[in-house]
Chain A
Amino acid sequence: MSLTLDDVKRIAHLARIEVGESEAQAYLAQLSSIFGLVEEMQAVDTSGIEPMAHAQDVVLRLREDVVSEPNRREACQAVAPQVEAGLYLVPKVIE
């Protein structure tokens, strides 16, 4: 599978990363080589093998349903660019 420059730009846009023309060219080469590796792996016969969802074969740790996080709004909001009435302010979202 070959990747085009448009694919790279689209991926960058979906990830909200600004990528310049020359950067896009560089990423095209890098991403294509990753795809090459994926293709190589896909050539391996894995029939009858249960797919894994994680690189390690371990299971999820479970936490008790007990409040452990106190209110630390003041500390959290101290580093926020803009707050008002306890809310984080962000550029207007238009639906």
Chain B
Amino acid sequence: MQWEVVIGLETHAQLNTVTKIFSGAATAYGAEPNTQACAVDLALPGVLPVFNRAAAEKAVRFGLAVGARINRKSVFERKNYFYPDLPKGYQTTQLELPIVAEGGTLRIQVPSTGSGQAYEKDIRITRAHMEEDAGKSLHEDFHGMTGIDLNRAGTPLVEIVTEPDMRSSTEAVAYAKMLHSLVRWIGICDGNMQEGSFRCDANVSVRIKGTDTLGTRCEIKNLNSFKFLEKAIEYEVRRQIELIEDGGRVVQETRLYDPDRDETRSMRSKEEANDYRYFPDPDLLPLVVSDAYIEEIRSALPELPQAKRERFINEYSLPPYDAGVLTSARELADYFEATLRSLLSKGVGILTTPEYPSAEIFAAKITANWVINDLSSALNNASLEIVDSPISSAQLAGLLKRIQDSTISGKIAKEVFAAMWNGEGEADAVIEAKGLKQVSDSGAIEKIIDEIIAANPGQLAEYRSGKDKLFGFFVGQAMKASKGKANPAQLNEILKQKLAG
């Protein structure tokens, strides 16, 4: 039987405000327990919530970034349940009238898998609402008791809900990554998954391919890494299919993923579940936002990743993959463009090939290659962010300029790059100090080639009798003799002539 997987995601993104959503207590991560939990967060009698305007602004920014309708009036409600990390006995959230209404979409790039090609897909965003986070329960042994830290209680969250539009764990992960990149891009969430700033709940069901009705779903809670999201969905899909094929039925429930055992298990018994008795919070009035307010936020939005990605493809003729990687973070895209601008400002040179019909396109591609490969892997190895790169965009452009004008080959450039990374100065200074300038003097190259040919009469004879593969041998020898500094294009050309005799 052919099964189809149906996934919808609910993502909690912590809004990076300075204070809580309803109190003036700080939200900084990692403070001593309960030092950022004030009377409102502790729900002491007689306190009243006062709403943080930055939370609304950031939620609206998100709604506009995905093209959703913004509710001019949204309402906070109480979701009632008892748990010690929620001192009020209810979570303040939005139900009937969330700040971000329908109409949003997020375009995802689904990478190729073993069998399938890479593709794009639009995931519909149903809604996004503001709510408060709960505190933390520490279950280590405190003489048989539980320790409660309320520093996180009242931290503003935006919960982003999708339609059940994803059809595989790969699509779910692609969506989560794209959303993660977007919330950081627009500056509403730091995206730190280890600290719990971005966590996903996955609604998973299966159905026979070709049917329209949805199967019974299970919700897997609190997945705080892309890897766990993928593994939890894969396990859950296998579990549901096996259950149905063995004649059983899926029961709607909340499940938790256990990464150590790579399985999901039931979290709550159904008894009393979902009786949250929502009602509008009488302590909070409706939040009203004006058209002018919305337009102000819209006009302050940066160029969004999708638009930038498309622009990189159209304006610079970059391959979609390169454009996707470069727009995975705003800082990376900015670095790329700054490097390219700096490189182009040095004069575009004359180097063109059929593959790169203009010098601008060549410059963009070489810049993309260096940012995506050499620079990114060096940053990765050093656990550095792009903003902390020891090589500035202007410095990298200085290096790329010397590749473009054939002062050095791409291979030598890697050596120069390593020296620059180690703080040995600008590209030109390194090239000069190490004597790495490419040899483009045809007389000098001819001399090297003559010597190589003279020293290898056997290979020469074989080559001339039709063993073309030996061309590579001669290139290698000549390059070695020039210590890698011979201009490769020139070397190839002269070598070809000389070998032909």
User: Which of A's residues lie within 8 Å of B, judged by CB?
Assistant: 13-14, 16, 53-56, 58-69, 71-73, 76-77, 82, 84-93, 95
- Alpha-carbon distance A48/B323, docked complex (angstroms): 50
Contact B142 A91 (CB under 8 A): no
Task: Other than A53-B75, A53-B280, A89-B147, give 14 A-B pairs with Cβ distance below 8 A.
Answer: A62-B56, A63-B24, A65-B17, A65-B54, A65-B55, A66-B24, A71-B35, A76-B44, A87-B33, A89-B143, A89-B146, A90-B146, A91-B146, A95-B139
With A69-B23, A90-B84 in contact, is A63–B18 under 8 Å at CB? no
Is A88 touching B148 in the complex (CB atoms < 8 A)?
yes
- Closest Cβ–Cβ distance, residue B30 to chain A (whole Å): 13
Asked if residues B34 and A60 are in contact (CB atoms below 8 Å), the reply is no
Query: Given A59-B285, A61-B50, A90-B148, A66 and B18 touching (CB < 8 A)?
Result: yes
How many Å lie between the Cα of A7 and that of B17 in the bound state? Answer: 42
B146 A69 Cβ-Cβ under 8 A: no
Are B19 and A76 interface neighbours, CB within 8 A?
no
Chain B minimum-CB-distance residue to A95: B267
| A69 x B285 contact (CB < 8 A) | no
Which residue of A has the minimal Cβ distance to B276? Answer: A14
When C-beta atoms are compared, the residue in chain B nearest to A54 turns out to be B285
Q: In this complex, which of B17, B34, B139, B150 has the most chain A Cβ atoms within 10 angstroms of its Cβ?
A: B34
The bracket for how many chain B residues form the interface is 35 or more
In the assembled complex, B149 has its CB within 8 A of some CB on chain A: yes
**Beta-carbon contacts of B235-248 to A below 8 Å, as 1s and 0s?**
00000000000000
Least CB distance from A21 to B in Å reads: 21
Contacts of A13 in B (CB 8 A): 272
Q: CA of A90 to CA of B145 in the docked complex: distance in angstroms?
A: 6
Q: Which residue of the partner chain, among A69, A71, A73, A85, contacts B147 with CB atoms under 8 Å?
A: A85
Count chain A CB atoms within 10 A of each CB in B44, B54, B146, B280 and give the residue with the most: B146
Report yes or no: A69 in contact with B25, Cβ–Cβ below 8 A. yes
Residues of B within 8 A of A (CB): 17-19, 23-26, 32-40, 42, 44, 50-56, 75, 80, 82-84, 89, 97, 137-139, 142-150, 267, 272, 275, 277, 280, 282, 284-288
Please list 14 pairs of residues, one from A and one from B, whose beta carbons are closer than 8 Å in the complex, sorted by A's number: A14-B272, A16-B89, A59-B288, A60-B284, A60-B288, A64-B53, A71-B36, A72-B39, A73-B35, A76-B34, A82-B145, A86-B149, A90-B145, A93-B83
B286-A60 in contact (CB<8A): yes
Report which residue of B44, B275, B280, B285 has the largest number of chain A beta carbons within 10 angstroms of its beta carbon: B285
Contact across chains for A84 and B142 when beta carbons are under 8 A apart: yes
**For the complex, what is the distance from the CA of A44 to the CA of B18, rounded to whole Å?**
46
Q: How far apart sit A53 and B97, CA to CA, in the bound complex (Å)? A: 10
Distance of A86 from chain B, by nearest CB (Å): 4
Q: Which residue from chain A places its CB closest to the CB of B26 in the assembled complex? A: A67
Closest 9 CB pairs of A and B: A68-B24, A87-B147, A65-B54, A69-B38, A86-B33, A62-B53, A53-B280, A53-B75, A69-B25
Q: Among B35, B51, B139, which residue has its beta carbon within 8 angstroms of that of A93?
A: B139
A71 to chain B, nearest CB (A): 4
Residues of B within 8 A of A54 (CB): 280, 282, 285-286
Q: What residues on B are CB-neighbors of A85 within 8 Å?
A: 33, 147
* Docked pose: A14 CA to B97 CA in angstroms: 25
Across the two chains, which residue of chain A brings its CB closest to B35? A71
**CB closest chain-A residue, reference B33:** A86
Smallest CB separation, B35 vs chain A (Å): 4
Question: Given the interface contacts A65-B17, A72-B38, A73-B37, does A87 sit within 8 Å of B23 by beta carbon?
Answer: no
Q: Are B287 and A59 in contact, with the CB atoms below 8 A?
A: yes
Asked if B34 contacts A14 (CB within 8 A), the reply is no
A65 and chain B: residue at smallest CB distance? B54
Instruction: With A63-B52, A71-B35 as known contacts, state yes or no: A93 contacts B272, CB within 8 Å.
Output: no
A93 in contact with B17 given A14-B272, A60-B288, A63-B53 (CB within 8 Å): no
Contacting pair B137 A63 (CB below 8 A)? no
B275 touches A14 (CB 8 A): yes
Q: Which residues of A contact B272 (CB under 8 A)?
A: 13-14
Residue of B nearest to A91 (CB): B145
Please, which residues of chain A bring their CB within 8 A of the CB of B288?
A: 59-60
Complex Cα spacing A72 to B36, Å: 8
Contact assessment for A63 and B51 in the assembled complex, using a CB-CB cutoff below 8 Å: yes
Closest residue of B by beta carbon distance from A63: B50
Q: What residues on A are CB-neighbors of B80 within 8 Å?
A: 14
